Amino acid sequence: MFFHAHPDDEALLTAGTMAMLADEGHRVVLVVATAGERGLAELPRGEELGRTRMDELYRSAAALGCARVVLLGYGDSGLAIDGGVADDRPDNAFIDADVEDAAQRLASVLKEEAADLLTIYDPAGGYGHPDHVQVYRVGSRAAEIAGTSIVLEATVDRDLLLRGVRLAARFYPAIDVRSFERAYSPREAITHRVSVRRYAKAKRASMAAHASQATGGDGDRTLGAMLRIPGPAYRFVFGTEWYVRRGLPRGTRLRHPFDSP
């Protein structure tokens, strides 16, 4: 089971792994906390955007071979200009949900599916989005309740990311390199490096399904820029997905979600 905050998060962090596991014959279930109705897009925020993004999510899930999609139904908490919690968030915002209650809801799906594995985010929520941090809290607790044996924190190799950002900053000085210095996970903490190059086509289709997130806003959208990368370069750039599994010996290096040291 793959637990994400908003539609399109699965495409960016875990799509290749999902396609790989589905191809291997595993039942893959995608759970999202919110419909992403407060995301940045050309459509106005609200129900219409939420419906559009859920339609996109189902297309993404189909491209990846998912057997089921579950929406927990919380409100998208949004993001403040400074990257923190938005003041104008809805009454049912995911960030304001009681962690125990939300975890019980997710645990019920884990139990129903008899899931062997759950992916969440790292404690920083990747780049720090409040809903991503809440995914970590809720997902960690849900795994405890359901007794799910393998919990993987979907992340990015921070060391590699910083090298790329510093290079990009030479050409785009407006990039704030410091904002990435605590994002995601340091290389030494990463336990799983999953090669998904064989599933680059499915991953790209997953990204492309989220068309509403490729445009909108004043600047170039990250997803739109990713989709413009040529095929061979795309397979290289997005050919690895990274995870952290807590409790493993320091220095563990695994290649498959179900591998053990």
Tens of pLDDT, residue by residue over 185-212, are 999 999 999 999 999 999 999 999 999 8
What integer pLDDT is reported at residue 180 of this predicted model?
83
Q: What is the DSSP letter of 194?
A: E
What integer pLDDT is reported at residue 179 of this predicted model?
79
What integer pLDDT is reported at residue 146 of this predicted model?
98
What integer pLDDT is reported at residue 225 of this predicted model?
81
What integer pLDDT is reported at residue 2 of this predicted model?
98
How far, in Å, are 34, 128, 135, 164, 211 from residue 142 at the CA level? Answer: 17, 21, 10, 35, 31
Tokens of 163: 């090298």
What integer pLDDT is reported at residue 224 of this predicted model?
79
Tokens of 227: 């989709």
The ranges of the chain with pLDDT < 70 are 44, 82, 216-221
Nearest CA to 9 out of 105, 107, 133 is that of 133
15-23 helix and 200-209 helix, angle to the nearest 10 degrees = 120
Quick one: how far is CA 62 from the chain centroid?
A: 17
Strands 240-244 and 192-195: antiparallel
Do 202 and 15 touch, CB atoms closer than 8 A? yes
What integer pLDDT is reported at residue 221 of this predicted model?
67
Tens of pLDDT, residue by residue over 61-70, are 999 999 999 9
Tokens 């490096």, residue located: 193
Strand-by-strand arrangement of the 68-74 sheet = 68-74, 29-34, 2-4, 117-121, 150-155, 240-244, 192-195
Cα angle 131, 206, 83 (rounded to 5 degrees) comes to 25
**One-letter identity of residue 175:** I
What integer pLDDT is reported at residue 220 of this predicted model?
54
Nearest CA to 184 out of 127, 134, 119 is that of 127
11 CB contacts (<8 Å, ≥6 apart)? 60, 203, 206, 207, 209, 210, 223
What integer pLDDT is reported at residue 231 of this predicted model?
87
